[in-house]
Amino acid sequence: MRRKKDAVDLPELDDLQFFDGVARSETLTQAARQWGVSTSAVSKRLAHLERRLGAQLITRSTRRLDLTDEGRRYAAGAARLLPLISDLEEEVGERRHDLRGHVAVHSTIGLGRTHIAPLLGRFKDLHPDVEIDLELSHLPLHVAGTRFDFAVRVGRQRDSSLRARLLYPNRRVVCAAPKYLANRNPPRSIHELPEHDCIVIRENDSDYAVWRFGTESEETAVKVPGSMVSNDGDVATQWCVEGHGLLMRSRWHVAPMLRTGALVQLLNDVPTPSANIYAVHDSAQNLTRRAKLAINHIAEGLAGRLDIPAGQ
């Protein structure tokens, strides 16, 4: 009869790996789920670790886990040391060209589906022994203290607890389909925008858009009433491709359509505030070599997918 996995020897986890996983979980049940074991097994392993260290690491409750002061110190040390240990083992094992291990990435849904997922798929092809975990959500995640190695975000980064690497210089552009421009003269300045049919991506329950031009230090806002409104960026972009009106959208989203001619960029000489794409990660945590290489791969891939010759 096959015995159940013992709590003390959860599969292939040393104490640092184990507690790092527990500390990043909201409950013991959530921690147990990631390893495919019972909550009781995790609780017993945690008790074993606390006895070995002679310190209580977590205050247990039915709803959440709260780290004690000793637990926070141990978790911070684990987060700092584990990437170094992983890189050291790869180097000693002479696997410099054979990446192994787990890379967890968070991204917003639109950017994640369109670009990050395909690029991580290609990264997996290049490194078959790497495990990829990509989670997409509508809103950005505060990645510090989570299970993710890094997150991909759009826009300025002001959080001092995060380190940011620029992946691709991005901005928002005004565009339209050739079908729309066949019947309407393109706007010659931002002041003509309200005279056009505009497609609005609804934010904060408003049925109008404020399109911003200029730079961060000197912006001009133009209120644009929407003849067609949606809270979904993909829907709004499809309407634009079908010729229903002008749209202001991130260049990362419309670059493929600008390249094929399905859309035409307007007001090319008018600057717009940057909406750059960054990889961000916890400043208190060192990235593993595989995570660094995944970030490099995404940066190179975005340049290949988004760079558009001048005039398009």
pLDDT band, residue 256 (cuts 50/70/90): confident
- pLDDT, residue 1, reads 39
In this structure, what token pair is assigned to residue 25?
């979980």
- Would you list the domain boundaries of the chain? 15-89, 97-168+276-306, 172-266
Query: How far is residue 269's CA from residue 190's CA, in Å, rounded to a whole number?
Result: 11
CATH class of residue range 15-89:
mainly alpha
Give the closest residue to 277 by CA, choosing from 140, 145, 143, 175: 140
What CA–CA distances, in Å, run from 191 to 89, 108, 164, 262? Answer: 60, 32, 36, 25
Is the pLDDT at 5 greater than 50? The verdict is: no
CATH class of residue range 172-266:
alpha beta
Query: 22-37 b/e with 16+ CB inside 10 Å = b?
Result: bbbbebbebbbeebeb
In this structure, what token pair is assigned to residue 270?
């008018």
Model pLDDT for residues 7-17, shown as the tens digit of each residue: 444 545 688 87
> Where do we find the tokens 């859309």?
263
Is the pLDDT at 122 greater than 90? The verdict is: yes
R_g over Cα of the chain: 24
CATH class of residue range 97-168+276-306:
alpha beta
What CA–CA distances, in Å, run from 207 to 68, 225, 231? Answer: 48, 7, 10
Is the pLDDT at 90 greater than 90? The verdict is: no
- pLDDT, residue 167, reads 93
In this structure, what token pair is assigned to residue 281?
């990660």
In this structure, what token pair is assigned to residue 209?
């858009």
- pLDDT, residue 203, reads 65
Query: How far is residue 134's CA from residue 132's CA, in Å, rounded to a whole number?
Result: 6
Model pLDDT for residues 133-176, shown as the tens digit of each residue: 998 987 777 777 677 889 998 887 777 678 889 999 988 899 99
H helix count then E strand count, the chain: 10, 14
Residue type at 91?
E
Is 97-168+276-306's fold the same as 172-266's? yes
Choice among 60-64, 159-163, 302-306 with the minimum mean pLDDT:
60-64
